[in-house]
């Protein structure tokens, strides 16, 4: 009788453990947090598409260690408070311990310390603010960071465009915009060239004419606009209306302009994580598969989401487990080729990889992008 009680007790304990983990023996849950609605919904939607494509491919090929991947996705609307709510739901209700997200720096910062404290492994696909991985060793990212991206923009303006006098217009309340500005200005001035105007605005502003008038009077030969595509489209329209015809340069937040702007962004260039027209075999395979599934060319956010899942898959395979601590150790040793380039991690779990500069062009009557040049770390 004692033996029977022990067996029953062990069985009940086992069932309780399965219930607490929330994991099916046949699946590995991956959570995703991103803006599927709101002002930067293009980022979240494209990233989720990339994540889903990667999971579909991995599951079709037999999964990971004999298990299929199950995605649990939450919309944070690009709002840090909602990022926290989404994170808490994934961890407490869905029992997820591996998360891809969020997309913007502010939203990602809002959940990074929570992930670290609870030992939830997190890969930020596109959040470029330097401080994000300061939360600790459970926080990784798939994208390069703002210092590198700001430097890339300045080097491109100096070396490719031959600029000597730059103007900057940035969002004073946006960490992403501020970080890019600081590093663009630093690199540009260290080259012995001049920032002739440095103007700012607040998040949500719609009228930039006062700042643009000052910029026009300063007569720059390039204007740096480090913000997200919706705001950049508004600024570019007002900038061109004022007769400022100089090149405009930005960063990965511009991804999405091709569907949300017009001719005003031509003679525009931005740093990005990959170029869809690259001849690289892995890039072309991804672009073809994505186009077949979604009938559109994938943005960098799609590529970064896709790479994030494949890096997790490789780490889980190497670790032989989906336990977050084991995956963390394996992920730190990443050394492989992905759609956005060859990736290894530095001591702060930031990827060491190249950046590309792309140009906004008109192709077949539509706004598109074309690869311009590569800048290595």
pLDDT at 25: 63
- The confidence score (pLDDT) of residue 201 equals 98
Q: Which residues make Cβ contacts (< 8 Å) with residue 105, sequence separation at least 6?
A: 127, 128, 129, 132, 175, 176, 179
* Prediction pTM value: 0.81
User: Helices in the chain by DSSP H: which ranges?
Assistant: 2-21, 41-60, 80-88, 105-117, 146-155, 175-190, 209-218, 229-241, 281-294, 300-319, 324-331
Residues forming a β-bridge with 248: 223, 268
pLDDT digits (tens, 9 = 90+) for 34-74: 999 998 999 999 999 999 999 999 999 999 999 999 999 99
Sheet containing strand 366-375, strands side by side: 194-201, 165-171, 222-224, 248-250, 268-272, 355-363, 366-375
Parts of the chain with a pLDDT under 70? 1-25
Q: Which helix (H) or strand (E) holds 268?
A: strand 268-272
Q: Tell how strand 351-352 and strand 98-101 pair up.
A: unpaired
Query: What pLDDT, on the 0 to 100 scale, is given for residue 53?
Result: 98
Tens of pLDDT, residues 113-150: 999 999 999 999 999 889 999 999 999 999 999 888 99
Beta bridge partners of 268: 248
Question: Of the candidates 235, 265, 89, which has an alpha carbon nearest to the alpha carbon of residue 170?
Answer: 235
Instruction: Kindly report the length of the chain.
Output: 377
| pLDDT value of residue 370 | 94
- How far is CA 361 from its chain centroid? 23
pLDDT of 4:
37
319/48 Cα distance (integer angstroms): 25
Mention every residue, 6+ apart, whose C-beta is less than 8 A from residue 85. Answer: 76
């Amino acid at each position: 009788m004692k033996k029977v009680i022990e067996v029953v007790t062990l069985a009940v304990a086992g069932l309780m453990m399965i219930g607490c983990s929330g994991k099916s023996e046949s699946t590995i849950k991956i959570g995703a947090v991103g803006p599927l609605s709101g002002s930067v919904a293009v980022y979240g939607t494209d990233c989720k598409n990339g994540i889903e494509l990667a999971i579909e491919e991995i599951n079709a090929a037999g999964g990971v260690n004999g298990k299929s991947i199950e995605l649990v996705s939450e919309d944070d609307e690009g709002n840090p408070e909602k990022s926290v709510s989404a994170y808490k739901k994934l961890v407490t209700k869905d029992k997820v311990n591996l998360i891809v997200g969020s997309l913007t720096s502010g939203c990602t910062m809002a959940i990074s310390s929570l992930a670290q404290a609870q030992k939830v492994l997190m890969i930020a696909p596109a959040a470029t603010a330097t401080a994000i991985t300061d939360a600790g060793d459970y926080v990784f990212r798939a994208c390069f960071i703002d210092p590198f991206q700001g430097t890339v923009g300045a080097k491109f303006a100096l070396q490719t465009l031959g600029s000597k006098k730059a103007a900057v217009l940035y969002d004073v309340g946006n960490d992403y915009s501020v970080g890019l500005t600081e590093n663009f200005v630093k690199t540009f001035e260290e080259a012995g060239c001049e920032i002739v105007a440095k103007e700012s605005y607040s998040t949500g502003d719609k009228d930039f004419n006062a700042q643009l008038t000052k910029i026009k009077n300063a007569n720059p030969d390039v204007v740096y606009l480090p913000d997200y595509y919706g705001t950049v489209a508004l600024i570019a329209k007002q900038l061109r209306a004022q007769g400022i015809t100089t090149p405009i340069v930005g960063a990965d937040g511009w991804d999405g302009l091709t569907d949300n702007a017009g001719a005003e962004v031509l003679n525009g260039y931005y740093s990005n994580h990959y170029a869809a027209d690259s001849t690289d075999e892995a890039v072309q395979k991804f672009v073809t598969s994505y186009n077949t599934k979604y009938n559109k060319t994938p943005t960098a956010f799609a590529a970064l989401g896709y790479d994030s899942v494949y890096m997790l898959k490789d780490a889980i395979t190497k670790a032989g487990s989906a336990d977050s601590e084991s995956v963390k150790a394996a992920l730190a040793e990443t050394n492989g080729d992905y759609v956005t380039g060859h990736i290894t991690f530095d001591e702060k779990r930031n990827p060491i990889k190249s950046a590309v500069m792309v140009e906004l062009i008109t192709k077949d009557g539509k706004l598109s992008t074309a690869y311009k040049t590569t800048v290595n770390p």
